[in-house]
Amino acid sequence: AKMPLTSGLAEGVRNLRAEIAERLAAEEHGAEASGARASGLCDQQASRLLVQKRQARRPSAAQPGRPCSVVDWLVESYEISIANAEAILEQFRAQLSVSELPVGEKMLIELYREGEHSHYFFHSLIGRSANDALSRIVAWRVKNRIGGNALVTIDDYGFLLTLRPFQELPLADWRLCFEREGAEEDLYAALRGSELVKWQFRGVAQTGLMVPRHLPGRERRPKQLTWSSEVLFRVLEQHEPDHPLLHEAYRQAMHIFLDAEEACAFLDRVQQFRWSLRELPVVSPFSFAIYASKIKESMMLEDPGAAIERIYADMYARVEAVTNAH
């Protein structure tokens, strides 16, 4: 399993994506450099000897007399193989063939319809915990705006809302769902009575001695602790919603399990971004990881790894078919 991205690591991935996109655009448009910054990064003559020493056991991507390509730069800067560098570029080019790159100050939303479901992919690269918080805020606002429930799938690179056709929204309405004002209150409301808060409350109640772990002469079983915590949670939610233990459970859910702070910081920034809503005939390469997470949740019999590999190959075949049709 891959390591979840924290907000700090997510920022590094955002910067890398933007750098690759910039270099790819310069390379494919025949530009020798993309400003002084790209020029400086390509000018690695002084350090290339050191790089070649580290790469002595593998072939070098760069050829004498050839400008620094994106593949060269990836191989030399990140010490990956040529095959891996080329695979990264293949994904970027495939994404461009059906959609656009979610880089820089851009909020890309992709809509893919599948049967009776409308899949909205939101490319918010802010890390899994922050996307978990953000998706709950947006799903709550969708429910209040149009009605019905949304199936949420989260990922490091964004999140997916699976809706019914009657819940589809235009871009202007999606922007309203990402307003910063009232975000904490909406997240609190979305979490109300959730399993996440109940789970946090069990620990809080035991720490606060509201649910004792031991009775005279014996230790309580886990099922008894869970049942007692559940009863206490329901009573406090209904009759004493401002109880300090409840507030602590919500605080832990929002700021320890979820990253509400980073989600709200993203809402602060995103209104200044350029927004784009693309309706696609296929799941885009950059959305596939999020889509695969949804697929794995519903798999019962088929091996998830083999199924995802098969679906991935099918996705790329459909991307190529769409590209060739244009």
Vertex 101 angle, CA 142 and 115, to 5°? 45
Question: Whole-structure pTM over 0.85, yes or no?
Answer: no
Mean pLDDT, the chain, whole residue set: 82
* 252-307 pLDDT, tens digit each: 999 999 999 999 999 999 999 999 999 999 999 999 989 988 776 655 555 666 76
Model confidence band, residue 150 (pLDDT cutoffs 50, 70, 90): very high
Of 316, 269, 299, give the one whose Cα is nearest residue 14.
269
Q: Strand 106-114 relative to strand 274-280: parallel, antiparallel, unpaired?
A: parallel
Q: Which two tokens stand for residue 188?
A: 């609190």
8 Å CB contact between 172 and 264: no
- Residue linked to tokens 């409308």: 118
For residue 205, pLDDT beyond 80: no
Q: Lowest-pLDDT range, 33-37, 112-116, 321-325?
A: 33-37
Residue 41: per-residue pLDDT: 42
**Residue 314 amino acid letter:** D
Residue 228: per-residue pLDDT: 67
Of 273, 262, 264, 257, give the one whose Cα is nearest residue 182.
264
Euclidean distance between CA atoms 91 and 70, whole angstroms: 13
Model confidence band, residue 199 (pLDDT cutoffs 50, 70, 90): confident
Q: Got the DSSP string for 71-104?
A: HHHHHHHH---HHHHHHHHHHHHHHHHHS----S
Largest separation between any pair of C-alpha atoms in the chain: 82
Going from the N-terminus, what domains does the chain have, and what CATH number goes with each? 7-98 (no CATH), 106-179+271-325 (3.30.780), 189-257 (no CATH)
8 Å CB contact between 196 and 152: no
* 24-62 pLDDT, tens digit each: 998 877 654 444 444 444 444 333 433 343 344 344 444
Residue with more model confidence, 199 or 311: 199
Model confidence band, residue 67 (pLDDT cutoffs 50, 70, 90): low
